[in-house]
Amino acid sequence: MPKRVDHSSRRATISDAVMRLLARDGLEAISLRHVAAEAGVSPGQVQHYFPSKDAMMEFAASTIADRIATRIAAAGPDPDLHHILTALLPTDPDSAADSRTLIGYLAFASVRPQIAETMATNGRAFRDHIAGMLPDHPDPTTAANTLLALLDGLALHVTLGQLPAADAGTLLTSAIDGVLAQEK
């Protein structure tokens, strides 16, 4: 009788290996051989599920997005602007690993126009969501862009150890309060 394989579980195992490698060793560690070793599977199994590095990285990106959505959802059923944006700061080992992974993924996407465009499309949708939370602001799109750019910079500084997470949270909260104070 043929062995039953849980394909979604196997794919998740390989994706988790990609995520760990990105977080721990950076983009240069992503290869068929390294991912297989990290996942504890054969290179053939990795290639079966992900025929290329691009395919591995694209799946890892969806994993990152799912983890971010989970952190935002943990803020409650109707999170406010503070909860959503501060949930995206790297403040614990798991979110710090996700931040390192995202930095690696951004480097990867920066030289792949199709992936960069997908990220840009998703980024604009998130920006529009944030702008929609500022209905009484004189320029909600600019305010959302500003907050998200600040968030990205703060997350990078925390990830690189240039700024403590608590200080980043204070700066972000101050900026959110400033934007909210501009609402009519």
Locate the domains of the chain by residue range: 54-181
pLDDT tens column, 30-82: 899 999 999 999 999 999 988 988 888 888 778 888 888 888 888 788 889 99
Place of tokens 């980043």: 168
Q: Per residue in 106-154, pLDDT tens?
A: 888 899 898 888 889 989 999 999 999 999 999 999 999 999 999 999 9
Determine whether 9 is exposed, middle or buried from the number of CB atoms within 10 Å of its CB (0-12, 13-18, 19+).
exposed
pTM: 0.84
54-181 CATH fold: Tetracycline Repressor; domain 2 (1.10.357)
